[in-house]
A and B are shown apart, each in its own frame.
Chain A
Amino acid sequence: MIQAKELTFECETGNYHTFCPISCVSWLYQKIEDSFFLVIGTKTCGYFLQNAMGVMIFAEPRYAMAELEEGDISAQLNDYQELKRLCLDIKKDRNPSVIFWIGTCTTEIIKMDLEGIAPKLENEINVPIVVARANGLDYAFTQGEDTVLAAMAQRCPRGKSISSSEPPLIIFGSLPEPTANQLTLELERQGINVAGWLPSQKYTQLPEIPEGSYVVGVNPFLSRTATTLMRRRKTKLISAPFPIGPDGTRAWIEKICSVYNIVPKNLVEREKKIWNSLTEYLDIVKGKSVFLMGDNLLEISIARFLASCGMHIYEIGIPYMDKRYQSAELKLLQETCLKKNTAVPRVVEKPDNYNQIDRIYDLSPDLVITGMAHANPLEARNINTKWSVEFTFAQIHGFSNAAEILNLVTRPLKRNIAYH
Chain B
Amino acid sequence: MKLAYWMYTGPAHIGTLRIASSFKNVHAIMHAPLGDDYFNVMQSMLEREQNFTPVTASIVDRHVLAQGSKEKVIHNIIRKDKEENPDLVVVTPTCTSSILQEDLANFVTRATYNSKADVLLADVNHYRVNELQAADKTLEQIIKFYLEKEYQNFNSPIKKTKQPSVNIIGGFTLGFHNHHDLTELKKIFKELNIDLNLIIPEGTQVAEIKDLPQAWFNLVPYRETGLKAAEYLYSKFQMPYVSITPMGLRQTARCLKEIQEILNSQGWICNFEDYINDQTYFVSQAAWFARSVDCQNLIGKKAVVFGDATHAASFAKILHYEMGIEVSWVGTYCTNDAEWFQKEVFDFCQEIIITDDYNLVATLIEKSEPDAIFGTQMERHIGKRLNIPCGVISSPVHIQNFPLSYKPFLGYEGSNQIADLIYNSFTLGMEDHLLEIFGGHEVFQENSLNLTLNSNLSSINWNQKAQEELNKIPGFVRGKIKRKTEDYAQQNNINEITLDVMYTAKESNHQI
Contacts and interface: CB of A to CB of B under 8 A. Distances in A.
Interface of A: 14-15, 17-21, 40, 42-44, 46-48, 50-52, 54-55, 57-58, 61, 64-70, 72-73, 77, 82-83, 85-86, 89-90, 105-106, 108-110, 135-141, 177-178, 181-182, 185, 273-274, 277-278, 354, 357, 371-377, 380, 399-400, 403
The 6 closest A-B pairs by CB, nearest first: A20-B35, A136-B33, A380-B50, A373-B40, A403-B510, A58-B381
Given A48-B38, A69-B2, 10 more contacts: A21-B35, A40-B1, A43-B7, A47-B10, A58-B381, A61-B5, A86-B3, A182-B503, A185-B500, A400-B510
Q: Which of B35, B500, B508 has the most CB of A within 10 A?
A: B35
Nearest to B76: A15
B126 A277 contact: no
A374 B127 contact: no
Contact of A20 (B38, B127, B500): B38
Nearest to A108: B65
20 contacts: A17-B40, A19-B35, A42-B95, A43-B10, A43-B126, A44-B11, A46-B4, A47-B10, A51-B38, A65-B3, A85-B1, A357-B52, A372-B44, A373-B37, A373-B40, A373-B43, A375-B44, A376-B45, A400-B507, A403-B510
Interface stretch (B53-61, B154-162, B179-187, B239-247): B53-61
A384 to B, nearest CB: 15
Given A20-B34, A83-B1, A400-B503, A50 B7 contact: yes
A21 B35 CA distance: 8
B405 interface: no
A21 to B, nearest CB: 7
B89 to A, nearest CB: 15
A389 to B, nearest CB: 9
Contact of A135 (B33, B52, B127, B472): B33
A280 to B, nearest CB: 10
B499 A44 contact: no
A67 B49 CA distance: 31
Contact of B99 (A77, A85, A110, A377): A110
Contacts of B13: 44
Nearest to A403: B510
Contacts of A139: 34
Contacts of A177: 472
Contact of A17 (B11, B37, B42): B37
B476 interface: no
Contact of B127 (A69, A89, A136, A399): A69
B1 A82 contact: yes
Nearest to B5: A64
A66 B5 CA distance: 9
B1 A109 contact: no
A312 B500 CA distance: 35
Nearest to A23: B35
Given A50-B6, A354-B83, A373-B40, A185 B499 contact: yes
Interface residues of B, number: 61
A137 B61 contact: yes
A33 to B, nearest CB: 12
B51 interface: yes
Contacts of A399: 507
A14 B130 CA distance: 29
Contacts of A182: 503
A44 B33 CA distance: 11
Contacts of A48: 35-36, 38
A105 B5 contact: no
B1 A72 contact: yes
Contacts of B506: 400
Contacts of B1: 40, 66-69, 72, 77, 82-83, 85-86
B96 interface: yes
B117 interface: no
B62 interface: yes
B469 interface: yes
A55 B381 CA distance: 9
Interface in B417-460: none
Nearest to A189: B500
A150 B384 CA distance: 39
B35 A181 contact: no
B38 A377 contact: no
A161 B42 CA distance: 52
B14 interface: yes
B70 interface: no
A15 B59 contact: yes
B270 interface: no
Contacts of B14: 47
A57 B5 contact: yes
A136 B44 contact: no
